[in-house]
Structure 1
Amino acid sequence: MVSEHVQSRSGKRQKTEDRIIGAAAELFLKHGFKATTIRAIAKAAEVSVGRVMSVGDKDVILVRCFDRWIGQLQNGTYTPPTRRASLSRRGTDTGATTGPPRPSSAVQRHLLELFLPFLEFFAEHEDLSRDYAAAMMRVKGEPEVFNALAVDLQSRLSESLVSIGINEDHARASAAALYDSYLGILFRWAATTMSLDDAVEAMLASIVFHTRVRSSL
């Protein structure tokens, strides 16, 4: 009975946290990080300010939101909200671009397509993504993007590399390097005027390098 009671309380607590993160996610996408307050999150989630703060400060909550979005992007369940021009529109002050480079093989295309949803999400929510990169530097502990989410994506990358004849050890190493390249591109993007095309080009360059078949040492 005691165990059932503890599990029930734990389940309710998790549902409340999920509701708080869901409410925060909607507000961040709609209003941006700076304009969203803890009080607004509490109101939207129908909980007290103290209950929101028990989940974490705004930095922690933003990182938790990105963990959720990235997880949804990885498993194909992310549904984009209505786009908001003031925070999401890119390239309105620049001329036409020639577009990003194209992969030269089916495997390169597949690998690039694994990363494109994340790059496009960051492009769509550029200001919020910059706030996320800054928040990750301030938050203690490791976000899911460095743990379960990283393992899942690296596993898929490794399988694709093995399929073109790269041995398993090299494939795992290259998958980890590709994932690190992706994270590096996101942080560089957050700190510079890098465009989506620039990010895709940088990601593809890393993919091209790591899809070269290596002989065994």
Structure 2
Amino acid sequence: MFTEHVQPTRAEQKRHTTTRVTEAAARLFQEHGFHGTTVRRIAAEAGVSVGAVMAVGDKESLLSLVYDQAIAARIPAPPAAESTTSAVDYLSRYFAPFLDLFTENEELARAYFRALTRGRSEKAALGSLRTLAESNLSAAMVNAGTPDAHARLGAQVMFASYLGELMLLAAGSTDPRQTATRIRHTAEFVTAQERQ
């Protein structure tokens, strides 16, 4: 019969625009690097105005959003309580996909880390990434028999270690293999502390 055309809500339009802008920014950052990508180019690629791009964020904020989404997509679920995966193995391998992402494009990774270190308040995505990571890490330790309070502290230590390792990678003072080894040592230390 009659089909009624329903206008999208403002919130839906905003989400759609944010998705288009973020996807365009991700493609352009990958193709042209951080410095070779402009807000105007992102707007043209997304088919929106420069103002619409800036409503999502400036170039640095867009890079942070792109990286945070890519990291969140790679987060492994914590092992089930009956899993044979040890807490050390899970904790030490948890950050491997992120480190792989970080080393896929060093120029973008360094720009992302610079954005993180500026500590601007709109870095809420890092806060949610931290919350998710610490929740997963804590769940893995609880499933391995660690008391809840100790698991939460251990997860915080693991996340802080990961950020420190990113800083060393960004500075070029380490390589991914050394980073993976140090993260494993941190996981061994954290789990050993939990047993005491």
Same fold by TM (over 0.5)? yes
1:145 is displaced (CA, Å) by 4.6
Equivalent pair of 1:67/1:143 in contact (CA under 8 Å)? no
Deviation at 1:32, TM superposition (A): 0.9
- Cα distance in 1 for partners of 2:119, 2:43 equals 21
Structure 1 contact 144–150 (Cα < 8 Å) conserved: no
What's the % identity of the aligned pairs? 34
Partner of 1:82: none
Output the amino acid matched with 1:141. S
Query: Where do 1:82-97 residues align within 5 Å?
Result: none
Find the counterpart in structure 2 of residue 42 from structure 1. Answer: 43
Going from structure 1 to structure 2, the CA distance change for 1:200 and 1:184 (only over 3 Å counts) comes to same
Q: Give 3-state SS (helix, strand or coil) of 1:152's partner.
A: helix
CA contact (8 A) 2:92 2:187 kept: yes
| SS class of match (2:194) | coil
Partner of 1:106: 86
In structure 1, which of residues 148, 153, 164 is the aligned counterpart of residue 144 of structure 2? 164
- 1:188-207 to structure 2, matched below 5 A, reads 188-207=168-187
2:116 aligns to what? 136
- What is the alpha-carbon distance in structure 2 between the residues aligned to residue 128 and residue 208 of structure 1? 31
Q: How does 1:1-217 map to 2 (within 5 A)?
A: 8-74=9-75, 106-138=86-118, 140-212=120-192, 214=194
- Alpha-carbon distance between aligned partners in 2 of 1:40 and 1:139, rounded to the nearest angstrom: 26
The one-character-per-residue Cα deviations of 1:22-41 (angstroms, maximum 9, x if unpaired) are 11011111221011111110
TM-score when scaled to structure 2?
0.84
Closer, same or farther in 2 for the Cα pair 1:110/1:54, shift >3 Å? same
Q: Is this contact kept in 2: 1:63–1:132, CA < 8 A?
A: yes
Instruction: Give CA-to-partner distance per residue, 1:98-150, whole Å, 9 cap, x none.
Output: xxxxxxx8332222221110011101122111011112233621524532222
Letter in 1 for 2:86: A
Larger mean CA deviation between 169-178 and 130-139 belongs to 130-139
1:60/1:139 contact within 8 Å kept: no
Change over 3 Å in CA distance of 1:214–1:53 after alignment to 2: closer
Measured at CA, do residues 53 and 213 of structure 1 come closer, stay the same or move farther in structure 2, by a change above 3 Å? closer
How many angstroms apart in 1 are the aligned matches of 2:91 and 2:159? Answer: 11
Kindly report the root-mean-square deviation, in angstroms, between the aligned alpha carbons of the 2 structures: 2.2
Q: Runs of 5+ in structure 1 lacking a partner?
A: 77-104
CA distance in 2, matches of 1:64, 1:149: 11
Runs of 4+ in 1 over 4 A off after TM superposition: none
- For the residues of structure 1 that align with 2:45 and 2:119, how far apart are their CA atoms? 24
- Bigger shift: residues 131-140 or 21-30: 131-140
Q: How many residues align?
A: 184
Q: Displacement, 1:193?
A: 3.1
Q: Quick one: distance in 2 between partners of 1:145 and 1:177?
A: 19
1:109–1:215: structure 2 CA closer, same or farther, 3 Å change rule?
A: closer
CA distance 1:10–1:145, change in 2 (3 Å): closer
